[in-house]
Structure 1
Amino acid sequence: MEHLDDSTLTELAAIVCGDEPGMKRRPGWELAGFLRRAGWQNVPEHDGRPRMLWVEETLRERQDEEAADIERVILRLADRREYLQQPSDYDAVMTRLQDILALEGRRIDYHKHRPVLTDYDSDEVPRPQRVELKVAITDLVNDPDLASAVQLRLDEARTCQEHGAYTSAVIMLGSLLEGVLVHAADTRPAAAPLTRPARDTRLQELIQHAHANGWIDQDAKMASDLLRTYRNLVHPLAEKRARHSADFDTADLCWSTVNAVLNDLAASTPQE
C-alpha cells in the first residue's frame, strides 16, 4: 500500500494503544505481541517510553522499511479474533478505523470473514456499523433464571458468529429476542394487551405488541421483522425456498437488530 500520512499513523497508534473509552487498551508489555500477531517479523520490545510515542515511532520506521507491515497492523486491528475476550470493543475500533482510512481513500471490507483493505469511493453509501448493546440483560429481565438463560444465548450467539456458524448465530439471536419479548409482555402494563398468553404468541405478534405499547421504536420493529424472517431459516426447506443462507452480513445485521431492541426495552422499562 502507499505510504500513509503522518497524521494517519498517529491515529493508528492511538487505536493500537486503545486509551479512549470503549476501545481495547493494550499495556506496554502487550504492544510487541500485537505487532507479532499482525504478522511483523523482528519486532522490538517496548522500551519503556510512553506507549503512544513508542508505537507511533515504530510505525513510522516500519513504513519506511516495509510499507506492507502498516497494512498488516490495520487488518489486525479490524480482525474480530483480536477481540474475543472483549467483543464489545470491536465496534468502537472499527468506527474510528473506517473514519481515518476514508481520508486515505481506503476502507475495511471482508472476504471469507477476514478483513481486507479496499478502495473507498466517497459517492458510495457507507456500510453502517453495528448498533452497540448499551445495557445489561439484568437491566430488562428481572427474573434471575431467565436473565441467565438469555445471557447464555447471547454468549452462544457470539461464539457462533466468531467461528463462522452464522445460521446458528441468527437462531440464537431470534430465540433470545423472543424470550425477552415474552418476559416484557408478561411483566409490563400494556395499553394494547395481547389476545392470548405471551408464551403462545408468535414472534411477529410479540414484536408488534412491543411497538404498539411504545417499548421499542419503529426502526427496531422493522429490523425485528427482518430478523424473524432470517430466524425462520432454521428450517432447511425455508432456506431452500429462499435460496439464501445466513452469512457474516446476515448475522451482523441481526446483532444490530437485537441490540437495538434490547436498548429500547431497557430505556422503556417502567419506573417502580
Structure 2
Amino acid sequence: MLFDDKKMKKWDKGTLYSLAGIICSTESPGPPLEGKIKRLFSSARLHCPKYLPSHNCNNWDRYALQEWTYEMLLILAQFPENIEEIIKRLADPREYAGDPKKVEEVVTKLNKILAVEGYEIKLDGIKPQLIEIEPRLIQDPEKPLVFLNPPDFTPLTNDQLLRKILHERWMEVRKCWEAGAYVAALVMMGSLLEGVLLAVAEANPEEANRSNASPKDMKGQPKAFCDWMLNDLINVAHERGWIQGHVKKFSHILREYRNIVHPKKQREMEMLADKDTCKSYWEDTCKICWEVVQAAVNNVVNWQKKNRS
C-alpha cells in the first residue's frame, strides 16, 4: 500500500535522529557535507533554515552536523509530509549520480529505520515510493549475530559497581550465545535490559517517580526502585522519552522471553525445547532480542548524554 498522507502520524524523534545520521553519513558528489545537506533539503523542495546561531559552522564534525540536521528535521516534521519528501529524495538515484551500489546502500539503511515505523522505501524504476508495511525489526538472516564490545556505561550511572555488573552481563550474553545456551542468553538479555533501565531511573529519580507509569504503593506513593519490575521500567522509560516507541514494544516481547527462566512459562508460551533440532528458531529469537537490547542501550545512553547535568 502506498503511503497515505491523509493517515500520516507524527514521526518518532528517534527515527528523525537516525535519519539525520544517514543524511550526514551519506557521501555523494558535490560540495562539502554541510552544503550537501542544504542541497538535499532544496532538492526535496523544502526550505532549509539558516544555520542556528548556537552552532559554530566552521569545521563542523559529523556529530555537530547530525545534531543540527536533527534540529532542522524536528522543525520540518511539524508537517509530516516534509519528512516523506526528504526520505524519498535521500533514496533518489539522482543524489548519487546514478550509482546503483550507493543507492542500494542508502535504501537499505533507510528501510532499517523505517521498518519500525511501518514504512518501506521501494524504487519504481528510478522513482522512490514510500510504502506502508507491518511495523517490524529488520534482521538479515544470513548475517551472524554480532557482539560488539560492551559500550561505555559511564553516561548512565555514577555507580561504579553497577557499571561493572552491566559490563559483565553484556559479556555473559555473548558467552551463552557462543555456547549454544539460547535460553540462558535470552534470560541474560532481559536481565541486562532491566539493569540498564534501572540505572537511568536511579540517575533520574525525580523524573522517574513523576511518571504516571511508575508503580505506586497502597498510599499512592512511588515504590522504591528495588521494588520496580521490568514491566514498570519499560513503561516509565518510554513515557519519559528514554526509549523510542518501537523499542518499548519489542522490549515487552523480550520481557516475555526473559520469563522463560521459569519452565512453566516456557510451557505456556509453547516455546520449543529441543534447541539442537530447532537451532534456527532459537538463533532467530536471540538475534531479534539482541537488536532490542542494543537499541535500548543506544536510546538511553543518547538521552542521558543530552540531559545529564
Q: TM-score, with normalisation over the residues of structure 1?
A: 0.50
Superposed, which structure 2 residues align to 1:240-251 within 5 Å? 240-245=267-272, 247-251=282-286
- Aligned residue for 1:119? none
Distance in 2 (alpha carbons) for counterparts of 1:220 and 1:234: 22
- Aligned residue for 2:298? 263
SS at match of 1:142: coil
Distance in 1 (alpha carbons) for counterparts of 2:169 and 2:308: 27
- Between 1:135-144 and 1:247-256, the stretch displaced more is 135-144
- Aligned residue for 1:128? 139
Native 8 Å contact 2:173 2:189 kept in 1: yes
Report the CA distance between 1:156 and its aligned residue. Answer: 0.6
Superposed, which structure 2 residues align to 1:81-96 within 5 Å? none
Distance in 2 (alpha carbons) for counterparts of 1:207 and 1:227: 11
SS at match of 1:268: helix
Per-residue deviation, residues 51-82 of structure 1 (Å, max 9, x unmatched): xxxxxxxxxxxxxxxxxxxxxxxxxxxxxxxx
Native 8 Å contact 1:131 1:259 kept in 2: no
Corresponding residue to 2:169 among 136, 150, 153:
153
Per-residue deviation, residues 9-42 of structure 1 (Å, max 9, x unmatched): xxxxxxxxxxxxxxxxxxxxxxxxxxxxxxxxxx
Return closer, same or farther for 1:179/1:153 CA change in 2, 3 Å cut-off: same
Corresponding residue to 2:252 among 210, 225, 239:
225
Report the CA distance between 1:138 and its aligned residue. Answer: 2.5
SS at match of 1:140: coil
Report the CA distance between 1:237 and its aligned residue. Answer: 0.9
Report the CA distance between 1:249 and its aligned residue. Answer: 1.0
> Which ranges of 4 or more aligned residues in structure 1 deviate by more than 3 Å?
129-135
- Between 1:193-202 and 1:221-230, the stretch displaced more is 193-202
Distance in 2 (alpha carbons) for counterparts of 1:206 and 1:238: 21
SS at match of 1:138: coil
Return closer, same or farther for 1:172/1:226 CA change in 2, 3 Å cut-off: same
Q: Which amino acid aligns with 1:163?
A: A
Superposed, which structure 2 residues align to 1:21-170 within 5 Å? 128-129=139-140, 135-170=151-186
Report the CA distance between 1:131 and its aligned residue. Answer: 8.9
Q: Which runs of 5+ in 1 are unaligned?
A: 1-95, 101-124
Native 8 Å contact 1:131 1:256 kept in 2: no
- Aligned residue for 1:17? none
Distance in 1 (alpha carbons) for counterparts of 2:226 and 2:255: 16
- Aligned residue for 2:197? 181
Q: Which amino acid aligns with 1:205?
A: D
Distance in 2 (alpha carbons) for counterparts of 1:183 and 1:218: 20
Return closer, same or farther for 1:271/1:137 CA change in 2, 3 Å cut-off: closer
Native 8 Å contact 1:141 1:180 kept in 2: no
**Amino-acid identity (%):** 34
Per-residue deviation, residues 86-145 of structure 1 (Å, max 9, x unmatched): xxxxxxxxxx9xx89xxxxxxxxxxxxxxxxxxxxxxxx995247987942223232111
Q: TM-score, with normalisation over the residues of structure 2?
A: 0.45
- Aligned residue for 2:235? 208
Q: Count matched residues.
A: 151
| RMSD across aligned positions (CA) | 2.8
Report the CA distance between 1:158 and its aligned residue. Answer: 0.5
Per-residue deviation, residues 195-226 of structure 1 (Å, max 9, x unmatched): 21121011111100000101110011011000
Return closer, same or farther for 1:205/1:131 CA change in 2, 3 Å cut-off: farther
Distance in 1 (alpha carbons) for counterparts of 2:137 and 2:195: 33
Distance in 1 (alpha carbons) for counterparts of 2:243 and 2:138: 24
Q: Which amino acid aligns with 1:153?
A: R
